[in-house]
Amino acid sequence: MRALIQRVSHGKVSVEGQVIAEVGPGLVILLGIGEGDSETEVRYLAEKIAHLRIFEDEQGKTNLSVLDVGGEAIVVSQFTLYADTRKGRRPSFIHAAPPEIASPLVDQFVSGLAGQGVPTQSGDFGAHMLVEIDNDGPVTIWLER
């Protein structure tokens, strides 16, 4: 499982011109599910991200989590995080989990993050989405489990 976490002042997801998720300040999490991923990775990453200290305190140090600042999150399923570009010019996605496995794990991750106390919204699995990210900092963190 791979997560690209961006600290945002504002984030928004639209499908066919309709806003389906919007947050700010908080996190936009691009989540990739790989072959062999399970609920174990879901639980680990949800807990890790909820408590990850990437927000600034009064002294400007990154000592606060999204929970500490009362932030929200949007989770966007992103199988392209498993792109393999070692051969040729077109990425291969053979290491991404198939939709019938990935979709329920994304839903479990959204529920798990919300269960940690982070108000969490999600994109639309498999849809063509317009994702707006106002990266704050910029702060972008890559997590893999």
Give me the active site residues, please.
Answer: 78-80
Burial of 123 (0-12, 13-18, 19+ CB in 10 A): buried
Residue where the block lists tokens 């999204």: 66
The closest alpha carbon to 78, from 136, 137, 124, belongs to 124
Q: What is the DSSP string of 38-97?
A: -HHHHHHHHHHHHH---EE-TTS-EEE-TTTTT-EEEEEE-GGGG-B-SSSSS-B-TTBP
What is the rounded CA–CA span in Å between residue 86 and residue 84?
6
Cβ distance 9 to 25 under 8 Å? Answer: yes
